[in-house]
């Protein structure tokens, strides 16, 4: 009986071809799937701005806009409060230092002046009375001293005569002793009167000096009150133009209240606001140029204000040489502010793409001009025309510099 043999199972040569074909199809499918995973945006080339990266000189400057302002503004505050009684000069008028602009009236101040004058008059009367009293005492003291001196001389002479007579036993001892006692008493009385007179003189000098000092202080105080009275006349603090005046007849002004300002027109400055991006680079004494009617005028940064408001900070610039003849306060100018020296750099033309990318990446157009690929870059300085490219691009490459807001999250742009 014949035994049927089973055929061995396994791969035959033709099977290898099928496997290779399957692997090829799987690889192609994977590549297509991977390619389709890249986010793509299609747009017309004519709708985009395409610029070329170049190698050249980078001028480290920015263009800023500024307004002409007076070189100095002096504010007028009311030294004294009061009611406006007269307005002599209107806003915009040219004034000289010391010109009266406003007149105020203050009844309380008038009462203070009358009281001070009354106190001064009383003090003067007291001083005169005190002087008269001291003078009378001084006269009386000197008369007493003169009398005591005369009595001393007379009693001394009498004592000396009685002493000689007593030695010759021509008078009694009692008479001699009485003359001696009278002489010694006169000596003591003279000393007392002399000391009293000297003390009165010293007291007079010190007392009158103190009274004179008090009187001088009161006179100075009254003088200061009179100055306060003069401050009711609001005067121009300097030559210039009356910029504004916040006061009308009958209006009550408080002490220290700001009522106006004087614009000093001997020179001008330019006030400009700069993006806070440059706050670390803008310093005093940086140079700038203003162009007007084909002429260039040099400026210098005089002051940088540290406060940032709404993303901008303020600077003051002044002319270093000539200034435009027709310059007026309030005019606007574009100014080229030099931040540093020029240098060789890779230059990328400025565009609105920066608002979307912050300068961290950009779409680079391929050599065939049919698509653009997103690429990371690094940007350094910038001026009004170019960005300085530090990394990520090469000279001759083309990039899209128009706005990217419509691209969404696309990694590749297909150009039709």
Residue 239 lies in a domain: no
Distance CA 15, CA 28 (A): 20
pLDDT tens across 285-309, in order? 999 999 888 889 999 999 999 999 9
Distance CA 24, CA 326 (A): 81
Q: Given this model, what pLDDT does residue 324 score?
A: 86
User: In this structure, are residues 135 and 263 in contact, taking their beta carbons and an 8 Å threshold?
Assistant: no
Q: Count of residues for the chain?
A: 416
Last residue of a domain, one of 229, 264, 280: 229
Name the 3-class secondary structure at 143.
helix
Average pLDDT of 39-68? 89
Average pLDDT of 211-216? 78
- Name 285's Cβ contacts closer than 8 Å, sequence gap at least 6: 300, 301
pLDDT at 176 > cutoff 60: yes
Residue 237 lies in a domain: no
Last residue of a domain, one of 323, 338, 353: 338
Residue 282's domain is classified under what CATH number? 2.40.30.170
Name the 3-class secondary structure at 293.
coil
Nearest to 385 by CA among 51, 66, 48: 51
Last residue of a domain, one of 306, 338, 370: 338
Average pLDDT of 163-185? 88
40-43 and 412-415 beta bridge pairing: parallel
Q: Which residue has the tokens 């000189």?
A: 57
Distance CA 84, CA 107 (A): 12
Structural domain of 152: 107-229
Question: What backbone phi and psi angles, to 5 degrees, belong to 78?
Answer: -75, 115
Average pLDDT of 350-368? 90
Task: Supply angle C-alpha 83, 90, 255, rounded to 5.
Answer: 30
- Name 158's Cβ contacts closer than 8 Å, sequence gap at least 6: 179, 182, 183
- Same structural domain, 111 and 223: yes
Residue 29 lies in a domain: no
User: In this structure, are residues 337 and 61 in contact, taking their beta carbons and an 8 Å threshold?
Assistant: yes
3 vs 283, residue with greater confidence = 283
Name the 3-class secondary structure at 380.
strand
* Confidence band, pLDDT 50/70/90 cuts, at residue 390: very high
- Same structural domain, 85 and 165: no
Count of CB atoms situated within 10 Å of the CB of 128: 11
Residue 287 lies in a domain: yes
Residue 86 lies in a domain: yes
Distance CA 55, CA 167 (A): 138
- Same structural domain, 51 and 69: no
- Same structural domain, 87 and 124: no
Average pLDDT of 273-279? 90
- Same structural domain, 397 and 332: no
pLDDT at 166 > cutoff 70: yes
pLDDT at 188 > cutoff 70: yes
- Same structural domain, 266 and 333: yes
Q: What are the tokens at 286?
A: 């940086």
User: In this structure, are residues 65 and 335 in contact, taking their beta carbons and an 8 Å threshold?
Assistant: yes
Q: Given this model, what pLDDT does residue 11 score?
A: 53
User: In this structure, are residues 161 and 175 in contact, taking their beta carbons and an 8 Å threshold?
Assistant: no
Q: Given this model, what pLDDT does residue 28 score?
A: 56
Q: Given this model, what pLDDT does residue 284 score?
A: 92
- Mean pLDDT, the chain, rounded, equals 85
- Same structural domain, 192 and 291: no
Angle (deg, nearest 10), helices 173-230 and 107-167:
170
In the chain, the number of structural domains is 3
Residue 377's domain is classified under what CATH number? 2.40.420.20
- Same structural domain, 80 and 140: no
- Same structural domain, 221 and 274: no
Average pLDDT of 86-107? 90
Name the 3-class secondary structure at 10.
coil
Q: Could you tell me which residues are beta bridge partners of residue 104?
A: 84
Average pLDDT of 23-30? 62
Count of CB atoms situated within 10 Å of the CB of 333: 19
Residue 30 lies in a domain: no
Nearest to 106 by CA among 86, 88, 81: 81
Side by side, the strands of the sheet bearing 386-391 are 54-58, 343-349, 386-391, 378-382
pLDDT tens across 122-131, in order? 877 887 787 7
In the chain, % of residues over pLDDT 90? 28
Q: Given this model, what pLDDT does residue 14 score?
A: 56
pLDDT at 317 > cutoff 90: yes
pTM of the model as a whole: 0.52
Residue 382 lies in a domain: yes
- Same structural domain, 124 and 182: yes
Q: Given this model, what pLDDT does residue 391 score?
A: 92
* Confidence band, pLDDT 50/70/90 cuts, at residue 314: very high
- Same structural domain, 121 and 224: yes
pLDDT at 35 > cutoff 50: no
Residue 235 lies in a domain: no
Q: Given this model, what pLDDT does residue 312 score?
A: 93
Distance CA 60, CA 76 (A): 42
Q: Given this model, what pLDDT does residue 318 score?
A: 93
**Helix or strand holding residue 363 (H, E):** strand 361-365
Distance CA 59, CA 82 (A): 59
- Same structural domain, 276 and 347: no
**Helix or strand holding residue 100 (H, E):** strand 100-105
pLDDT at 34 > cutoff 50: no
pLDDT tens across 63-84, in order? 899 999 888 888 989 888 899 9
DSSP 278: G
273 vs 125, residue with greater confidence = 273
Average pLDDT of 247-259? 90
- Name 337's Cβ contacts closer than 8 Å, sequence gap at least 6: 61, 62, 63, 64, 274, 282, 286, 287, 288, 301
User: In this structure, are residues 159 and 179 in contact, taking their beta carbons and an 8 Å threshold?
Assistant: yes
């Amino acid at each position: 009986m014949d035994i049927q043999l089973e055929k061995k199972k396994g791969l035959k040569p033709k099977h290898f071809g099928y496997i290779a074909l399957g692997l090829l199809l799987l690889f192609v499918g994977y590549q297509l799937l991977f390619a389709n995973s890249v986010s793509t945006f299609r747009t017309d080339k004519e709708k985009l701005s395409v610029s070329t990266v170049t190698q050249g000189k980078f001028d480290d400057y920015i263009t800023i806009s500024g307004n002409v302002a007076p070189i100095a503004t002096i504010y007028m505050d009311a030294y004294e409060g009061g009611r406006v009684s007269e307005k002599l000069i209107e806003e915009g008028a040219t004034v000289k230092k010391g010109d009266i602009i406003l007149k105020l009236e203050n009844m309380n101040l008038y009462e203070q002046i009358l009281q001070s004058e009354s106190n001064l008059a009383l003090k003067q009367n007291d001083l005169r009375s005190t002087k008269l009293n001291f003078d009378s005492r001084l006269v009386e003291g000197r008369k007493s001293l003169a009398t005591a001196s005369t009595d001393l001389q007379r009693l001394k002479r009498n004592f000396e005569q009685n002493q000689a007579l007593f030695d010759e036993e021509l008078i009694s001892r009692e008479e001699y002793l009485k003359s001696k006692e009278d002489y010694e008493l006169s000596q003591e009385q003279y000393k007392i009167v002399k000391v009293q007179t000297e003390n009165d003189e010293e007291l007079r000098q010190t007392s009158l000096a103190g009274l004179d000092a008090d009187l001088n202080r009161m006179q100075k105080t009254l003088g200061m009150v009179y100055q306060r009275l003069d401050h009711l006349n609001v005067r121009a603090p300097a030559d210039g133009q009356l910029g504004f005046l916040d006061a009308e007849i009958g209006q009550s002004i408080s002490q220290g209240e700001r009522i106006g300002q004087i614009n000093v027109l001997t020179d001008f400055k330019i006030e400009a606001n700069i993006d806070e991006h440059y706050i670390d680079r803008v310093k005093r004494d940086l140079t700038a140029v203003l162009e007007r009617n084909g002429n260039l005028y040099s400026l210098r940064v005089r002051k940088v204000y540290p406060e940032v408001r709404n993303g901008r900070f303020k600077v003051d610039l002044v002319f270093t040489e000539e200034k435009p003849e027709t310059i007026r306060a309030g005019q606007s100018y574009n100014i080229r502010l030099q931040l540093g020296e020029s240098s060789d750099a890779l230059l990328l033309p400025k565009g609105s793409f920066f608002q979307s990318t912050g300068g961290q990446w950009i779409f680079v157009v391929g050599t065939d001009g049919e698509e653009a690929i997103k690429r990371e870059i690094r940007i350094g300085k910038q001026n009004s025309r170019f960005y300085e490219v530090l990394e990520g691009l090469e000279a001759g490459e083309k990039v899209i510099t128009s706005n990217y807001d419509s691209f969404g999250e696309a990694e590749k742009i297909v150009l039709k």
